[in-house]
Amino acid sequence: MENNNVLKEELSLSRNQIFDGKKESYLSKYDESKDVIVHFVSRKKLNEKFKVGGVLDNEQSNNWKAWLYLAPVLVLMAIFLIYPLINTLVISFMSNYNYVTGDFDGFTLDNFGAILGLSDINGYRDNRLMDYGFINTFIITFLTVPLSLVIALLISVLLNSLKWFQKVYQVVFFLPYVTNTIAIGMVFSVLFDRQGIINYIFGSDITWIYGADRWVAMVPLCIYIVWSSLPFKILILLSGLQGVDKQYYQAAKIDSTPKWRVLLRITVPALSPQILYLMVTSFIGAFKEYSSIVALFNGPGTSTGSYNMYTIVYYIYDNLNTNTSLAAAAAVILFVIILIFTFLQLWLSKKRVHY
């Protein structure tokens, strides 16, 4: 008790000396039988070190160690993340940029106008991104992401209720995640071939891939994307289900609550942090869809006979060497789209996510 009184006198003296009576201080978790934990709040940086209960505060003096530990990561981020972002933004405004020599004819906004179909560049107007890239990318994103999340949630709930073969099923569902993307695409191209198993099972004669119509080709593409994205989502949701308090389900069982209501009222709110994480990362991945087009169609122009299956990222790769300025402008537009949707999801989730 006497030690606590002495400590309180020292704190009062330190507050008057350091903050000159203008700042705030408060005690938290104070208990007469325990040590006192003190938090100081100041609106300006302290010019001198101070002691609390005889202990010197070294928080400010040890900051250089934290920066030293972070230095390797910060250097790598600056080289491989920050510099490419800034460089891409600058190149997007360059006219006739040559990526080999670095020469360009000046800065212009025509690159953005050209890829958006608003203006010509060098006497050529490129409508592939407007006619195919944006539409296909948005269809893939808003169709595959919600569908894969719902399927992954249902599978996770079913797996969580299975106790005997849960580990075995986890391995089975996780196998596509560690399988080569091109190999999976080749399997799907065989399944959906005109002479393939799908047409044989349903007794149809539909051209799904090679020479297929744009909207017909979307069917095997979306199925492929949903199936290949399920393992990671199932893993995250299943790990989240392990941490849900079982008392909620026991109370629902006592009240004879229907299973669909338990799913919507207990499981989904309890998994809201994991669902938000998967939504954000899935939307980012879907907007950057590229490998599935190559794996399934061997490129949008070779399988369907035109640019029917073009996506934004495929447009970027297609113009990276031939017209780097247009590719950079498309990359900047894609970055802005992803940024807007990410912040929109985070804003909408403030009232829906429960931690």
Q: What is the CATH number of the domain that holds 163?
A: 1.10.3720.10
Domain range for 187 is 128-319
State whether residue 283 is helix, strand or coil.
helix
Can you tell me the distance from the alpha carbon of 346 to that of 355, in angstroms, rounded to the nearest whole number? Answer: 14
pLDDT tens by residue, 213-270: 888 889 999 999 999 888 899 989 988 998 888 898 889 889 888 988 999 889 999 9
What mean pLDDT is predicted for residues 135-159? 93
- Between these two residues, 308 and 238, which has the higher pLDDT value? 238
What pLDDT is recorded for position 105?
86
Q: Is 117 left (phi over 0), alpha (psi -120 to 50) or beta?
A: left
What pLDDT is recorded for position 293?
87
What mean pLDDT is predicted for residues 284-302? 82
The two structure tokens encoding residue 327: 């590719």
State whether residue 27 is helix, strand or coil.
strand
Question: Is residue 265 situated within a structural domain?
Answer: yes
Count of domains forming the chain: 3
Same domain, 172 and 31: no
Question: Is residue 344 situated within a structural domain?
Answer: no
Instruction: Among 94, 115, 136, give the residue marking a domain's end.
Output: 115
Residue 91 has pLDDT above 90, yes or no: yes
- As a whole-number percent, the residues of the chain with pLDDT over 90 amount to 30
Question: Is residue 355 situated within a structural domain?
Answer: no
> Which residue is listed with tokens 């998994």?
271
Instruction: Among 18, 34, 56, give the residue marking a domain's end.
Output: 56
- Between these two residues, 291 and 29, which has the higher pLDDT value? 291
Confidence of residue 323 (pLDDT cuts 50, 70, 90): confident
Least confident of 8-17, 136-145, 156-165, 317-326: 8-17
State whether residue 22 is helix, strand or coil.
coil
Write b or e for each residue in 202-220: b if 16 or more Cβ atoms lie within 10 A of its Cβ, otherwise e.
eeeeeebbbebebebbbeb
Confidence of residue 313 (pLDDT cuts 50, 70, 90): very high
The two structure tokens encoding residue 300: 């949008």
Same domain, 28 and 71: no
What pLDDT is recorded for position 243?
86
Can you tell me the distance from the alpha carbon of 20 to that of 1, in angstroms, rounded to the nearest whole number? Answer: 28
pLDDT tens by residue, 6-63: 444 444 444 444 444 444 444 444 444 444 444 455 555 555 555 555 455 555 556 7
Same domain, 273 and 157: yes
Which phi and psi (to 5°) does residue 289 adopt?
A: -60, 125
Least confident of 2-6, 56-60, 67-71, 303-307: 2-6
Same domain, 25 and 108: no
pTM over 0.95: no
Strand partners, 124: 121
Query: 3-class secondary structure for 118-142?
Result: CCCECCECCCHHHHHHHHHHHHHHH
- As a whole-number percent, the residues of the chain with pLDDT over 70 amount to 78
Same domain, 100 and 19: no
Least confident of 54-63, 98-107, 272-281: 54-63
- Between these two residues, 4 and 269, which has the higher pLDDT value? 269
Q: Are strands 55-56 and 51-52 parallel, antiparallel or unpaired?
A: antiparallel
Same domain, 100 and 174: no
What pLDDT is recorded for position 337?
95
| Alpha carbon of residue 141 to chain centroid | 13
What mean pLDDT is predicted for residues 307-330? 88
Same domain, 217 and 78: no
What pLDDT is recorded for position 127?
82
What pLDDT is recorded for position 7?
43
Same domain, 197 and 303: yes
